[in-house]
Amino acid sequence: MTMKKEIKTIFKEKFGIEPNLYAAPGRVNLIGEHTDYNEGFVLPASVNKSIHFAIKPNSSGVFRFYAIDLNESFETPVDKIEPSKTHWANYLLGVIAQFVKDGKKVPAFDCVFGGDVPLGAGMSSSAAIEVGMAYAINDLFKLNYSKLQLVKFAQMAEHEYAGVKCGIMDQFASMHGKANHVIKLDCRSLEYQYFPLDMTDYMLVLVNTGVKHSLASSEYNKRRQECENGVALLKKYQPNIHSLRDVGLELIQAHKSEFNEITYNRCSYVIEENIRLENACNALEQGNFVEFGKLMYGSHEGLKNKYEVSCHELDQLVDMARNTDGVLGARMMGGGFGGCTINLVKKGSVPAFEKNIRANYKTPDGKEPQIIEVVIEEGARLVNE
Ligand code: GLA
């Protein structure tokens, strides 16, 4: 049974009526990591792994949710939207809370959701849940918010109900994705440009380390603070600096002695990553995948050595990629401390690459790693029959 059929069937079994169906995808990011909350650039795309939502208003005054993948239910009265001990429910409640804060009344509904975005793999399953929820509520109750406003609601849900002060990339990509294109997003102005990604000869392959370190969210918030500390220091010299986006390498190098080593490394990584992204977009325009791949490796080195958000397992997978013919580029993807690597691989080399990984990498519990070949597809949508 396809995902959408399964989800509809379960909804009908539980609630006895025909639901509306929506989907929001997970994302990849080709380059530009930890740049979004520094008002820099990112290059994500939405992929063919999605969370589906079956949803219909009810007249009970209670929101009723069922998470298929966990086989768990959760419900709460419409007038009692607050952070919950049920972890997964917070991604949904956090979104409803944003509409309510903006003065909207969200009527009660039933919702069954589930999908194939792997959890904790750095593919933004949480953003897909938030964006799908925001998209569905907006459409179902004809609230007329723009896609961008819904993206911001989804991001705020993560801040306020999941406790991660994430940037805007994941939610933006899940909402605005376009088949066969990557999105170059300016995280300051929120202007964006689609770049065609001609994958005739290449494939994007994700390898999931199977590791998810619990320090991910606390370290994430810490990195944010370290970048802000760097900005505060440089502001003394150039008061109009607002974020690392405004800082060139010359400026930070000139004041190196005033930084502690960690803050200097964090800030210079972000500045360099924005430069790499610009070069990567130029390489894409020239169809130069070899150069693009080199920049991906460069990004990983920076994330590992300067930003220090990688981990042993991610480094191991990137090293294996580097030593396999036909892998043009590889890097850790997303927040870090586990999750996936993203690999740009020549089509003909994919089987050998995957075989090599399976033979030489085992997850911490001794299993074979999950390997995911992704295709770039549309962002959040109403699913038609
Ligand atoms: C997570 C966050 C994003 C972004 C990445 C790192 O995925 O949700 O906003 O900061 O980490 O690039």
Atom of ligand 1 nearest to the CA of 220: 11
d(CA 205, CA 344): 7
The reported pTM is 0.96
Q: Looking up tokens 């952070």, which residue turns up?
A: 83
Contacts of 197-202 spanning 24+ positions with Cβ under 8 A: 197/45, 197/284, 197/376, 198/287, 199/375, 199/376, 201/289, 201/346, 201/347, 202/289, 202/328, 202/344, 202/345, 202/346, 202/347
Indicate the burial class of 20 (C-beta count within 10 angstroms; 0-12, 13-18, 19 or more).
Answer: middle
For 133-183, how does the pLDDT look when each residue is reduced to its tens digit (9 = 90+)? Answer: 999 999 999 999 999 999 999 999 999 999 888 999 999 999 999 999 999
Give the model's confidence band at 252: pLDDT under 50 very low, under 70 low, under 90 confident, else very high: very high
pLDDT of residue 164: 87
Q: Which of 36, 110, 139, 170 is catalytic?
A: 170
Count of beta carbons in the 10 Å neighbourhood of residue 197: 18
Structural domains present in the chain: 3-197+378-382 (3.30.230.10), 203-374 (3.30.70.890)
Dist. CA 142 → ligand 1 center (Å): 30
The set of residues, in sequence order, having a beta carbon less than 8 Å from that of 79 and lying 6+ positions away, is none
The set of residues, in sequence order, having a beta carbon less than 8 Å from that of 142 and lying 6+ positions away, is none
Atom of ligand 1 nearest to the CA of 127: 8
For 311-358, how does the pLDDT look when each residue is reduced to its tens digit (9 = 90+)? Answer: 999 999 999 999 999 999 999 999 999 999 999 999 999 999 999 999
- Residues 122/374, Cβ–Cβ less than 8 Å: no
Average pLDDT over the chain reads: 96
CA-closest candidate to residue 299, choices 179, 283, 175, 201? 283
d(CA 277, CA 260): 26
Kindly report the protein residue whose alpha carbon is nearest to atom 2 of ligand 1: 166
Q: Which amino acid is at 113?
A: F
For 90-126, how does the pLDDT look when each residue is reduced to its tens digit (9 = 90+)? Answer: 999 999 999 999 999 999 999 999 999 988 888 999 9
Ligand 1 binding pocket mutation candidate from 37, 43, 158, 166 (most atoms within 8 A of CB) = 166
Dist. CA 179 → ligand 1 center (Å): 21
Active site residue 319: no
Angle (CA) 166-342-128 rounded to 5° is 40
Indicate the SS3 state at residue 92. helix
Phi, psi of 289 (to 5 degrees): -70, -25
